[in-house]
Amino acid sequence: MSLRFVFLDRDGVLNRSPVKRYVATPEELELLPGTREGLSLLSAHGYGIVIVTNQQGVALGQLSSEALAAVHDELRRQVSGAATFLDILVCPHSEFEGCPCRKPRPGMLLEAARRHAIPLARTFFVGDNPTDVAAGHAAGTRTIYVGESGALAEQAPDFLAEDLIAAARIILREDGLSVGTTTSACP
Ligand SMILES: [Mg+2]
Ligand SMILES: [Zn+2]
């Protein structure tokens, strides 16, 4: 059982943001440089890793639930050996439905906290969109923004990071855990 947790956005944090609006097939899933290493670092330090992702393509009829499940199977396959995910939460609703789970609303974070007894105030949410930062603030998590800080406008994350490795190092440092000099995955 994990004592520490981390929330990660999917597109733009783990995998390259889709050129089209959605990652619709396993073949379109391309991990970003450093994803395996960042996950490995978190996993090695005992973090329960929870993915929270908006996928409104499902509601808009551009992505079937089966296709989304296949993409997540592929994601698990590509990170196997580096990390396993404690949970993957998806908001399949469209931005027009006003659901409580679509980021920037905090529904997925609150649901994950309920399911896994996650202490939100001690948990980081890593995202590449201002709506991720907003969802983190709304749920009471700490926040790390990955990407161009110019896009942030009024959202103020607790930390900025270049990529998932940098984010993982910030998390370990802030949690008082030592970071080894090697970030390579275990053989
Ligand atoms: Mg994203
Ligand atoms: Zn939703």
> How do residues 42-63 score in pLDDT, each as one tens digit?
999 999 999 999 999 999 999 9
9 noted as active-site residue: yes
CA of 89 to the centre of ligand 2 (A): 10
Q: Would you call 125 exposed, middle or buried from its count of C-beta atoms within 10 A (0-12, 13-18, 19+)?
A: buried
- For residue 2, what pLDDT is reported? 76
> How do residues 8-49 score in pLDDT, each as one tens digit?
999 999 999 987 789 999 999 999 999 999 999 999 999 999
Over residues 103-119, the mean pLDDT reads 98
Ligand nearest to the CA of 95: 2
Average pLDDT, the chain: 93
11 noted as active-site residue: yes
- For residue 153, what pLDDT is reported? 67
Using alpha carbons, list the distances in angstroms from residue 160 to 37, 72, 112. 18, 27, 24
- Asked if 43 contacts 175 with a C-beta cutoff of 8 angstroms, the reply is no
CATH superfamily of 4-174: HAD superfamily/HAD-like (3.40.50.1000)
CA of 177 to the centre of ligand 1 (A): 27
